[in-house]
Structure 1
Amino acid sequence: MTQRQRLGLAWAVKILGFVFLCGAVPQLTAQEMDHDGQSTPAVLVQKVREATRKFSNVNNARLAGYSPAFGCVSGPDHGAMGIHYVNGGLVGDGEIDVEHPEALIYEPMGNKRMLVGVEYIVDAATWLMYHNNTPPVLEGQDFQLVASPNRFNLNTFYELHVWAWRDNPQGAFVDWNNNVSCEHQ
C-alpha cells in the first residue's frame, strides 16, 4: 500500500468524526470566498449540478459508494447541513474533482432524501505535498482551512460546501444553510 493510499484510508476513517461535528469552521460570505473574481458562484454551482444530477436518487449514491455517516446535522443556532453521504474511496485521496465530491448532502423528507448540496474535503498535508504548497481552489472558489488541533480531532484539512440544489441565503459556499432542516427525519 502506498503512502497516498494509507493516507486515504486513514482519512476515510477520520472523516466520520468530521461530518458529525462540522460547523466549527468560520462562516464566510460568497463574496469573501470568491477567488480574484475569476469565477462566480453560479459557475461552480452549475458544474456541481451537472456532475451530481444522477444522485438526486439516493439509491444511485449508494450504488456509487456513498453511505450515510450520521443522522441529520443541525446548526448550532440556525439552519442545518442535512445528512452527509460520504464516499470513503474519495475521502483522503488528495484529489479535488468537481465531478466526484467526497460527500453528498441530503435533506430528510420522511422516508425520502432530497439532494441539497455537496462537500469537498481534502487533507491539507496531502494536498500541499502534491500541489506545490498551494491551497486548493475549485472553479475560482477557495477552500476553508480547518487547522489542527480542532474539535473534529482531525489533521489540518480543507473543505468546501456547495449548495447546488438548495439556495442558501447566506451564500452558496457557507457551511450552514437556513433553508435546510432536520425537522422531517
Structure 2
Amino acid sequence: MNKRAAAWGMALALGAASPAVWTGSASAEGVNDDLAAVRAATAAYHNEDKAVADGYIPGLEFCAESPEGAMGYHDVNPANFEGPLDARKPQALLYQPGADGSRKLVAVEYIVIDADQDTATDDDRPYLFGQPFDGPVEGHGPDMPVHYTLHVWVWQHNPAGMFAEWNPAGSC
C-alpha cells in the first residue's frame, strides 16, 4: 500500500469530518481575513519537512494535472480528518515541482468524506469561505471514499479563480 492510500485508510478509520465549525465569512472583506488566517496557519509548510513533522504524508506517486491545469502533489494529514472541519487545518497541502527539483507549496485542499457514500445525494455538502465544496466524487483509488473537496490557491495565483479545482498557471 502506498503512503497516500495509507493516509486515506487512516482517515477512514478516524471517521468522516463533521460539518465545518469555523466556516469563515461570506462577505468579501471577511473572506479576505479568513484567507489571511489560512496563509498564516500554513506559511511554515513552504518547508515541506515542517509539514511532514506536523503529520502530513508526502504524495510522492504522481503530480496531478489535467488539460485544465495542474494541482500538484498532495500531502495528506490523517489527523486533520478528525473532529470538526477547521479551515486552519487543511486535510491536504498541494505542492508543485520547482525548476531546481524542490517542491513549492501552492494551495491547500479541504476534504470531507461523504456521509452516505452516495454520489447521487449532496445534502451534507460542506461550505468554507462562503464557497460550496465540489462533489461528491468517487474516490481516486481503492482506499479513497466518496468525498467533497475545496481547493484554495492561497500560495499561487490561479487565473481560473481562488477556489477552482485546477490551476492553468500551474505545472507538473
TM-score normalised per structure 2? 0.71
CA contact (8 A) 2:59 2:73 kept: yes
Q: Which residue of 1 aligns with 2:12?
A: 11
The runs of 5 or more residues in structure 1 that have no matched partner are: 1-6, 14-36, 127-132
Q: Does 1:83 align with 2:73?
A: yes
Q: Which of 59, 72, 75 does residue 69 from structure 1 map onto?
A: 59
1:58 Cα offset (Å):
0.9
2:89 pairs, out of 74, 84, 100, with: 100
* Structure 2 residue 133 is matched with structure 1 residue 143: yes
CA distance in 1, matches of 2:103, 2:140: 28
Size of the alignment, in residue pairs?
A: 146
What per-residue deviation string (whole Å, max 9, x for no partner) do you get for residues 126-157 of structure 1? Answer: 8xxxxxx6531113121112245x66554432
Distance in 1 separating the partners of 2:168 and 2:13 = 28
Q: What is the CA distance between 1:171 and its match in structure 2?
A: 0.5
Deviation at 1:111, TM superposition (A): 2.9
- Listed as ranges, the gaps of 5+ residues in structure 2 are 1-7, 15-24, 117-122
Residue deviations 1:24-53 (CA, integer Å, cap 9, x gap): xxxxxxxxxxxxx92335344322211101
CA distance in 1, matches of 2:11, 2:54: 20
Q: Is the 8 A contact 1:8 1:89 kept in 2?
A: no
Q: Could you say which residue in structure 1 is the equivalent of 2:39?
A: 49
SS of residue matched to 2:151: strand
User: Between Structure 1 and Structure 2, which shows a larger proportion of helix residues?
Assistant: 1
By percentage of residues, which structure has more strand?
2
Structure 1 12/39 Cα, relative in aligned 2: closer, same or farther at 3 Å? farther
- Alpha-carbon shift at residue 71 of structure 1 (Å): 3.9
Distance 1:85 1:172 in 2: 20
Contact 1:94 1:123 in 2 (8 A): no
Q: 2:63–2:96: 8 Å Cα contact kept in structure 1?
A: no
Tell me the TM-score normalized by structure 1.
Answer: 0.67
Q: Runs of at least 4 residues of structure 1 off by over 4 A? A: 150-154
Checking the alignment, whether the CA contact within 8 Å between 1:45 and 1:163 is kept in structure 2 is no
